[in-house]
Structure 1
Amino acid sequence: MLNSCIFCNDDKLEVALENDYSFVIFDKYPVTKGHLLIIPKRHVSDFFECTMEERESFNQLLEQGKELLDLKFNPSGYNIGINCGEAAGQTVFHVHIHLIPRYRGDMDNPRGGVRGVIPHKQKY
């Protein structure tokens, strides 16, 4: 719902990067230091509803975001994730991509990475 969308209606968002179709902010509730969100300017709830232009803009900003984080925080790795639908954990229904910098030692055993969304399936 557009009227209640936190990305469409928060005039205090501090935009770190942007292009014609999307923008980047630091997550207000970061998983790790430097956690970024890539967000389309158009209100669209699901990644699979995005246009090819929006998807290309996401890729451009993922690259630029990585460069920014490499310079600012020097992480050891990255996770990239999108929650699509309530069953996948989506709570804000304006699509956004998480670029999460990872640091050695930020968890005991990171093996399996994004598979950890279902904890007992992370390690294989």
Structure 2
Amino acid sequence: MAPCPFCNIDHSRIMIANDHALAIMDGFPLSPGHALVIPRRHIASLFEATKDEREALLDLLEQTRTELIGQYNPDGFNIGINDGAYAGQTVMHLHIHLIPRYKGDQQDPRGGVRWIFPNKAVYWK
């Protein structure tokens, strides 16, 4: 089994950190500023996180958002967690995607994360 890429992150990649979590830029960004918020403890699911870890993750998510607004000036964000292999999780260490969105990056951004099922994404018609 390959070592976990999030358990031994090079310190130079860390944008912001607290006692329970850290934030890095995504290695395969979907948009400029795509970041990941990751617990320090190796857990696969948000549902395994302690209350303190959840609070730390959300606090760091907010701090990372503030940093990205200052650096990239996005028009919105998608926030996502792939929880489990059948939800698309490929690295089995919890990580929260913070994906900046920009006016014009998609012709019609409505539906956001619902597009994982394209035939169900357009619910407003």
Q: Which TM-score band (shorter chain)? A: over 0.9
Residue 36 of structure 2 corresponds to 37
Matching of residues 82-93 of structure 1 within 5 Å: 82-93=81-92
Give 1:77's aligned amino acid: G
State the Cα deviation string for residues 33-81 of structure 1 (Å, max 9, x = none): 0001000000001111111111001111111011101110000000000
Moved over 4 A (4+): none
Structure 1 residues without counterparts, runs of 5 or longer: none
How far, CA to CA, are the matches of 1:81 and 1:62 in structure 2? 11
Residue 113 of structure 1 corresponds to 112
Residue 73 of structure 1 corresponds to 72
How far, CA to CA, are the matches of 1:44 and 1:27 in structure 2? 19
What RMSD in Å do the two structures reach over aligned CA positions?
Answer: 1.3
Residue 20 of structure 1 corresponds to 19
**Structure 1 residues 12, 64: closer, same or farther in 2, change over 3 A?**
closer
CA contact (8 A) 1:76 1:103 kept: yes
How far, CA to CA, are the matches of 1:67 and 1:50 in structure 2? 24
Structure 2 residues without counterparts, runs of 5 or longer: none
Give 1:92's aligned amino acid: V
Shift of 1:9: 2.9
Give 2:23's aligned amino acid: V
The count of aligned residue pairs is: 123
